[in-house]
């Protein structure tokens, strides 16, 4: 295999010829520049240089093999260049943000002191690199939907039944026929390695230890094979959240790959077709630049022309999504590609819930993408309530799940009383694995199980199927709930 010096690679940093170094290997990415989801400039910024530190946390290990032709894998750095890069890495001065993270990690609370979902989120936000925090926490526009997703649960109150035997309370249920210890699953979320080096593997291992189900994102930061290999046993169910690529063959290859790896269902995401306006994510590079320089942006008088780049970390992930999906074409197309169950993730109105059920989908997820796409989308629990009132037949035709805004076991139980089969949590598990790795995932699942079990016993039920609509009431007033505001 040919070897190259750093000087040779440095000569190739334009659109006419662009090479990058990743893990001491040299790649010609010229032909891929304008196919890159995040645009060519993201790559050109590292043209002729080592891009390893920027590349590794957000790309699966097989991404280069899938996107760069074999003949463009040019070779490796020579020994002297490797030593030079290694020395430069060791000599590199840590950024202010890196130093802040080191201090935060050393001072994080003992895991035993994390007693609810909110504790986990607050701890993680303090110790995450700012770019990761901004990506995980960002929401669309003014964050109205993100806030209301959680606040909406406070409009639903219980009608507990008393004098009922509740010993032996069982929190287990099934999802698409697969048993789960609690009616909670890990919702598909991208780029777990931004928060922890093991990323999605933490989620897979934590799910196995606690008997819950994990959904894996198309945009996971590890390969689908690496995640499947991390399962505690071949029987551990994992589902796949599909962002359908605009090229049918590319999408079909992805579906066939995960089916061969043992994934058990396809969750087709339909509520995030185009990049949204997530301003915290968009502002992250500017914040970090000012933070490192010690500049107060309010006092920066330099005016520069230019268009604002709003893609952020998230935008580049979905820029190749199929924006022309239809009920008439897309669902039959997936049926013709795989025998796996199909769940539609991102239903945001009653009419589409009905269409999904009529299309024979095995499940639907009432979701507005955690408030990260269209602001003022209806909170999922409110939509669930509307479906229950207006089209209760949907619940007999397909399994109904919700995600978005769940913070407590009582939130889970309200959703189940209204007819949801399961609820998903995405950010919460990202925060858990970011702050404490696999142990954080296990701890969070056990917190939820404790809260769910207590809630069931207090409602007078000892199995999930005893949770019925009569046990909740929607009210027109709201209590003061500081944690949700």
Q: Active-site residues: which are they?
A: 243, 271, 369
Let me know: does 262 contact 66? Beta carbons within 8 Å: no
Q: How far apart are CA 144 and CA 113, in angstroms?
A: 31
Q: How far apart are CA 57 and CA 226, in angstroms?
A: 14
Q: How far apart are CA 174 and CA 152, in angstroms?
A: 26
Q: How far apart are CA 190 and CA 447, in angstroms?
A: 23
Q: How far apart are CA 173 and CA 464, in angstroms?
A: 7
String of DSSP letters for 358-423: HTT-SEEEE--GGGTSSTTPPPHHHHHHHHHHH-TTHHHHSEEEEESS--SHHHHHHHHHTT-SEE
Per-residue DSSP letter, 143: S
For the chain, give the number of residues.
485
Chain-centroid distance, C-alpha 444:
16
Count of CB atoms situated within 10 Å of the CB of 141 = 16
Let me know: does 141 contact 277? Beta carbons within 8 Å: yes
String of DSSP letters for 306-343: ------HHHHTTSTTB-TT--TTTHHHHHHHH--S-EE
Name every residue whose Cβ is closer than 8 Å to that of residue 367 and which is 6 or more positions away in sequence.
271, 345, 346, 347, 348, 380, 402, 403, 404, 424
């Amino acid at each position: 295999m040919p070897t190259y010096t750093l000087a040779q690679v440095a000569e190739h940093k334009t659109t006419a010829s662009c090479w990058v170094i990743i893990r001491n290997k040299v790649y010609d990415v010229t032909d891929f520049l304008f196919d890159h989801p995040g645009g060519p400039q993201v790559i050109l910024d590292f043209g002729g240089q080592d891009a390893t530190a920027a590349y590794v946390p957000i790309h699966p290990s097989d991404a280069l093999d899938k996107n760069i032709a074999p003949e463009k894998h040019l070779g490796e750095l020579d020994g002297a260049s490797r030593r030079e890069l290694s020395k430069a890495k060791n000599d590199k001065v840590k950024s202010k943000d890196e130093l802040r993270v080191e201090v935060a990690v050393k001072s994080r609370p003992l895991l035993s002191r994390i007693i609810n979902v909110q504790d986990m989120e607050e701890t993680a936000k303090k110790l995450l690199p700012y770019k990761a925090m901004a990506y995980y926490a960002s929401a669309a526009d003014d964050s109205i939907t993100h806030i209301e997703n959680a606040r909406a649960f406070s409009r639903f109150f219980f009608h507990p039944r008393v004098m009922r035997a509740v010993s032996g309370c069982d929190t287990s249920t099934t999802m698409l026929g697969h048993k789960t210890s609690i009616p909670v699953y890990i919702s598909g979320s991208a780029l777990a390695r931004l928060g922890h080096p093991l990323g999605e593997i933490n989620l897979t291992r934590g799910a196995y230890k606690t008997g819950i189900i994990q959904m894996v994102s198309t945009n996971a930061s590890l390969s689908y094979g690496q995640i499947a290999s991390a399962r505690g046993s071949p029987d551990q169910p994992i589902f796949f959240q599909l962002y359908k690529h605009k090229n049918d063959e590319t999408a079909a290859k992805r579906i066939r790959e995960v089916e061969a790896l043992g994934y058990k269902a396809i969750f087709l995401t339909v509520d995030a077709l185009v990049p949204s306006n997530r301003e915290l994510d968009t502002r992250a590079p500017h914040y970090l630049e000012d933070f490192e320089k010690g500049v107060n942006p309010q006092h920066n008088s330099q005016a520069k022309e230019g268009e604002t780049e709003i893609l952020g970390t998230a935008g580049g992930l979905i820029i190749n999504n199929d924006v022309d999906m239809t009920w008439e074409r897309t669902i039959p197309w997936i049926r013709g590609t795989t025998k796996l169950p199909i769940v539609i993730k991102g239903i945001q109105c009653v009419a589409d819930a009905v269409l999904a059920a009529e299309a024979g989908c095995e499940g639907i997820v009432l979701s507005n993408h955690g408030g990260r796409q269209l602001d003022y989308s209806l909170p999922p629990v409110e939509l669930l309530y509307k479906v229950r009132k207006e089209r209760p037949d949907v619940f007999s035709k397909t399994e109904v799940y919700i995600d978005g805004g769940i913070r407590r076991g009582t939130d889970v139980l309200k959703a189940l009383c209204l007819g949801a089969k399961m609820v998903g949590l995405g950010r919460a598990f990202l925060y858990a694995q970011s702050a404490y790795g696999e142990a954080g995932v296990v701890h969070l699942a056990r917190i939820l199980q404790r809260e769910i079990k207590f809630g069931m016993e207090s409602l007078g039920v000892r199995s999930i199927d005893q949770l019925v609509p009569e046990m909740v009431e929607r009210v027109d007033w709201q209590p003061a709930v500081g944690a949700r505001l």
